[in-house]
Amino acid sequence: MSRIGKKPVALIKGVTASISGQTVEVKGPKGTRSFTATDDVTITMIEDAIKVAPRGTSKRARQQWGMARSMVENLVVGVSAGFKRELEIQGVGYRAAMNGNILKLSLGYSHEVNFEVPNGVTVTAPKQTEIVVEGIDQQLVGQVAANIREWRKPEPYKGKGIRYKGEFVFRKEGKKK
């Protein structure tokens, strides 16, 4: 049995949900999101909670059970609190700045990197060495943060590059004479 799937998803104050067939639509202070589950699960509304249950005992139904419940919970968290990923830039001369909808990154290349921010995500640079990615869609926030990090991953010798806040970078020892 799925330990995650058994728990009902509680609706936080200020969040409303509606279920039509296999589609769950959640509205909150930050926006509206929806999720369409597969036919392997049943989604029902119980008082102030959403319950997900498998249809049958097939392996696929049990797999979709926990995943569908997690997706519904992410909808509720996204429209109420939102998701946030913080990135740090380390390296001499490495910096970031927002210019309208474009994130300008100086990462040691011969040119500046211009990263266009997609719709549904807010990117800010509170300091030259910090980038904050926020939004209501967890997948989109994580993907945008990963795309920004991809421009200059942290290297193991000096630790220069873009890393997630709190990420540990294994450091290697350089050559010795």
pLDDT-derived band at 117 (thresholds 50, 70, 90) equals: very high
Q: Which pLDDT value is given to residue 47? A: 87
Q: Which pTM value belongs to this model? A: 0.87
Contacts (Cβ under 8 Å, ≥6 apart) of 94: 105, 106, 107, 108, 129, 152, 160, 161, 162
Half-sphere exposure of 165 (CA within 13 A, CB side): 9
Dihedral, CA atoms, 24, 12, 67, 117, nearest 10 degrees? 80
Domain 3-80 shares a fold with domain 83-164: yes
Q: Which CATH superfamily is domain 83-164 in?
A: Ribosomal protein L6 (3.90.930.12)
H or E element in which residue 146 lies: helix 138-150
H or E element in which residue 61 lies: helix 59-80
Fold held by 3-80:
Outer Surface Protein A; domain 3 (3.90.930)
d(C-alpha 148, C-alpha 171), whole Å = 22
Distances (CA, A) of 91 to 107, 149, 173: 8, 14, 18
Q: What is the pLDDT of residues 18-55, one digit of tens each?
A: 999 999 999 999 999 999 999 999 999 998 899 999 99
Instruction: Kindly list the domain boundaries of the chain, sorted by start residue.
Output: 3-80, 83-164
